[in-house]
Amino acid sequence: MAGLTEALDALETPCALLDRARVTANCDAMRARADALGVRLRPHLKTAKCAEVARLAGGEGITVSTLEEARYFAERGFRDQTYAVGITPDKLARVAAIDADVAVLTDDVDVAHAAAAAGLPAWIEIDSGQGRGGLAPDDPRVVACARALGERLRGVLTHAGHSYGGRSVEAIRAVAEAERAAAVDAAERVRAAGVPCPGVSVGSTPTAVHAARLDGVTELRAGVYVFFDRFQLAIGSCGADDLALSVLASVVSRRDGAVWIDAGTLGLSSERSMDPFGGGYGVVTAADGAPLPGDPYVDALNQVHGRVVARDGALPALPVGARVRVWPNHACITAAMYDAYEVVDDDRVVDRWPRLRG
């Protein structure tokens, strides 16, 4: 891998590195997983925010989380979109103005009426246990939303975000079953009320990876699997060789027992919600990805400075200018700190893929 280290020397730090072979393999594996489960895959592009990654992800249609994503992907030919965050009335006209088939999401009867009036297709958000957005499957407002939407109804949609709290395959599999059951239950109630409910959409990366069955479900949404990260590794969604995103950084100052690198809050993000494992803000390896003595990690951040310390033993002697790689806990947020991915394959930097931030 000396060739890779040399190839990376040409890059300006900090930057986001993407391993193309790993992204490709992750995307292929999730498509195969959806096929095996008998559902369509609608990848969530809030992680990658990048048309090139979306093309690798494939599937049928895409999922987005902001108006900016919807516009970005529409401009790049992605016509079939689900905007999977509760819509607000003022955003309906903005969605309608996008040159693509963008379905919105709501858990509010008034908003469902407004979406129908705006001529927009919509999904009804179901809460399968996360407690963020969505209605319980037996909440009478589910049917009220369905009636409000009528032929604009795409189906019912849920996201088991609490799967991230699972710490065993069994626990995550139970969340996956709860996610499936809640969505199917809601869909059946809508149908029983006489409103056609064609779609039943579920998903999160952990439940997508571990679901035992998806009977009654029509499509699967997942996002972070395209890159995976230290958190997904820790909860068993992937292996270490699946991690596709990392940050290349340079040592800017040496202290006793620590070095500071040029990736700080704006290079790594201060995201800690995905760090129940004491990984600080990311694990540090050599630039080529090889482990470093002392198992170093980033334990403190300022805006453009990150502090690297050893977890075990002593840090290696890293001079000012030395390059290291930081493996983030939460890829979605770290990736969002960058305007582009530097794409690596084998020991070469093969491309630069622009990405959206917003």
Binding site for a copy of itself (CB under 8 A): 9, 12-13, 46, 65-67, 85-91, 94, 106-108, 110-111, 125, 131-134, 161, 250-255, 260, 262, 265-266, 269-273, 301-305, 307, 319-321, 332-333, 336, 338-339, 357-358
Q: Could you give the dihedral angle defined by the CA atoms of residues 179, 182, 184 and 187, in that order, rounded to the nearest 10 degrees?
A: -130
Q: Cα separation of 147 and 264, whole Å?
A: 50
Least Å from the CB of residue 335 to a copy of itself: 10
Do residues 95 and 120 lie in contact, with contact meaning Cβ atoms separated by under 8 Å?
A: yes
Least Å from the CB of residue 153 to a copy of itself: 18
Least Å from the CB of residue 222 to a copy of itself: 14
Which residue's CB is nearer to a copy of itself, number 9 or number 215? 9
Which residue's CB is nearer to a copy of itself, number 242 or number 271? 271
Which DSSP letter does residue 321 get? T
Do residues 246 and 327 lie in contact, with contact meaning Cβ atoms separated by under 8 Å?
A: yes
Least Å from the CB of residue 9 to a copy of itself: 7
Which residue's CB is nearer to a copy of itself, number 174 or number 333? 333
Q: What are phi and psi of 347, to 5 degrees?
A: -110, 30
Written as one string, the DSSP assignment of 20-79 is HHHHHHHHHHHHHHHHHHT-EE--BTTTT--HHHHHHH-SSSEEESSHHHHHHHHHTT--
Do residues 315 and 258 lie in contact, with contact meaning Cβ atoms separated by under 8 Å?
A: yes
Which residue's CB is nearer to a copy of itself, number 141 or number 191? 141
Q: Cα separation of 244 and 34, whole Å?
A: 21
Which residue's CB is nearer to a copy of itself, number 37 or number 142? 142
Least Å from the CB of residue 108 to a copy of itself: 5
Which residue's CB is nearer to a copy of itself, number 27 or number 336? 336
Q: Cα separation of 291 and 30, whole Å?
A: 28
Least Å from the CB of residue 239 to a copy of itself: 24
